[in-house]
Amino acid sequence: MSEAIYANTQMNNEVETDRGEMAEMVVDIYDSSDTLRDEDTRTTTHETEDTDLHNVPGDLNSESDNSGRIFRVTTVCLGLLCVILLTGIIVQSVNYNITINNSEKKWNNQLQTSYNNMTRERVQLQTMLSVLETHFQEGWRYFGSSLYFLSAEQKTWYESRQDCQRRNADLVIINSEEEQKLISGLKMRFWIGLTDKDEEGTWKWVDGTKLTTGYWLSGQPDNFQSQEDCAEIYIWDNKRLELWNDLNCETKRNWICEKMLNNPLTHSY
Ligand SMILES: [Ca+2]
Ligand SMILES: [Ca+2]
Ligand SMILES: [Ca+2]
């Protein structure tokens, strides 16, 4: 019996031992499981940490964000640049149109002014041609800027001048060597518009101007018999320009009238 009890006790002890071993094994298993879990956790944490390390600025996601930001900024800048360029083009276009319009107005004004001037000149030329035609029919001749009328009859100096004045002219005034050549080329004796009747020796043209350059014959003017106060072209040597002679104003001679044509519109014909 005691053996049985001892055996039973031993068996119980063994059972207890087994239980203790089992408990230790369970504890070991749990420890192993915890260890594995901890390792997994550390692994996961490590991976997470690795992932976080890769997510620092400069990684792929950050670069993608930065690239997107740069792209947006670039797009905005390009858009602003396009707006600025478009605005510049519009402003330039407006200025160009304004310039073109001003140029067209200026050009049109110039054309209008030219047209008005040409029209006025055409009227003047037509008037002058009409005047010349009328004078040519009356026996006038045109030279330089003057019309000349050579009489076919003879009269005193005073009567001759009156005839010229009736023709809205006066006795010829010789202003230049060319005019003297023209007049002397007529090869006739005739009165010219020169006299010293107001003051002996002071020769004046019919317009009141004093004589500056004379073409007197040698020895003239001599005021022969103190009665010579009017000037004539005296033809005795047509190879010379010095052909003037003073003569009694009551002597009858041909005469020559002159009418200026510098501005035909200012003359009354
Ligand atoms: Ca003249
Ligand atoms: Ca005289
Ligand atoms: Ca004389």
Residue 258 CA to ligand 1 centre (angstroms): 7
- Provide the pLDDT for residue 196: 98
Minimum-distance ligand to the CA of 224? 3
Residue 176 CA to ligand 1 centre (angstroms): 8
| Domain spans of the chain, in order of start | 2-54, 140-266
**221 cis-preceded (ω within 30 degrees of 0):** yes
Residue 219 CA to ligand 2 centre (angstroms): 13
| Four-residue CA torsion sign, 173, 176, 182, 186 | positive
Residue 170 CA to ligand 3 centre (angstroms): 22
pLDDT in tens, 122-160: 998 998 889 889 999 999 998 888 999 999 999 999 999
pLDDT in tens, 58-117: 556 677 788 888 889 999 999 999 999 999 999 999 999 999 999 999 999 999 999 999
Residue 220 CA to ligand 2 centre (angstroms): 10
Whole-angstrom distance, CA of residue 152 vs CA of residue 163 = 12
Residue 227 CA to ligand 2 centre (angstroms): 6
Please name the fold of domain 140-266. Answer: Mannose-Binding Protein A; Chain A (3.10.100)
- pLDDT higher for 155 or 18? 155
Residue 187 CA to ligand 2 centre (angstroms): 24
- Provide the pLDDT for residue 236: 67
The three-state secondary structure class of 246 is: strand
- pLDDT higher for 178 or 42? 178
| pLDDT bracket for residue 45 (50, 70, 90) | very low
Residue 139 CA to ligand 2 centre (angstroms): 32
| pLDDT bracket for residue 24 (50, 70, 90) | low
Interstrand relation of 228-233 and 190-195 (parallel, antiparallel or unpaired): antiparallel
Residue 29 CA to ligand 3 centre (angstroms): 170
Distances (CA, A) of 185 to 3, 45, 156, 188: 194, 134, 22, 8
Instruction: Give residues whose Cβ lies within 5 Å of ion ligand 2.
Output: 196, 223, 229
Residue 250 CA to ligand 2 centre (angstroms): 13
Pull the structure tokens for residue 240: 């010379």
The reported pTM is: 0.58
Distances (CA, A) of 55 to 28, 69, 252: 39, 18, 134
DSSP label at residue 263: S
Residue 183: count of CB within 10 angstroms of its CB: 22
pLDDT in tens, 206-257: 999 999 999 999 999 999 999 999 999 997 666 788 999 999 999 999 999 9
